[in-house]
Structure 1
């Protein structure tokens, strides 16, 4: 029976390179000289530290440019709030999304069920497996998911016939 997996996964190597390039640019830019501006990647969390909200926005802008140049969709980023960390410093933690959250997976599943297509969707640890009798039905399901879930950079893996 033909099937495919709907997944949400990013290339962490590209993200790591973008963070390192951003860190280098922060070190060389004139407007960041002598400030606490820094960026760090731990697991799937990117921590931005700066002297002000404006500086955090500047670092964020540089990071987004580097990610875009590396071919990483910025919809993978889940930007947190800017918070004070003592003195005159602020920080912002940005999470890199990996895996479809249960709520979003249920939304995809309901979308497929509501479409009355002859396919079934099953949630499996961070991905949604869609199975159907015909390849055409699966391709229609892919188009439906792409059209409805524009806020997520979904991709489709393991297309089996």
Structure 2
């Protein structure tokens, strides 16, 4: 079982997009039973009285344009114990990476990655919260998730 946790600041845009895009990809490849895929936030800003906000409506709309649905997903906050639970903790940008390192007490490289690194890029996944360009974020996430699966295949972790 390959356990993947995608992380962004609030867990309402980029990381849930990545969660559901990768779930769709592995489902289409017939590999769903080999993966556990989730997403979380480095902050509690989108969590009120223990209940997380749902995926931001424009992010849901962008996913739906591609036949991907994320109904029922609510923001959750990353915990230090996630480092032991997951094989890959994948952040969307450099600030997420710093916060992930702070939360887990571990450094980038062991299990902590930035999504677009899998595609050989140093770039951050664009944050649609500031740009309103959910289409660009979608493309960034697809690029990163596709490259991630290719890396797993090259490493012999999936067929």
TM above 0.5, yes or no, is no
> What TM-score do you get using the length of structure 1 for normalisation?
0.26
Name which structure has the greater RCO, CA cutoff 8 Å, separation 6+. Answer: 1
Bigger radius of gyration among the two? 1
Structure with more strand by fraction: 1
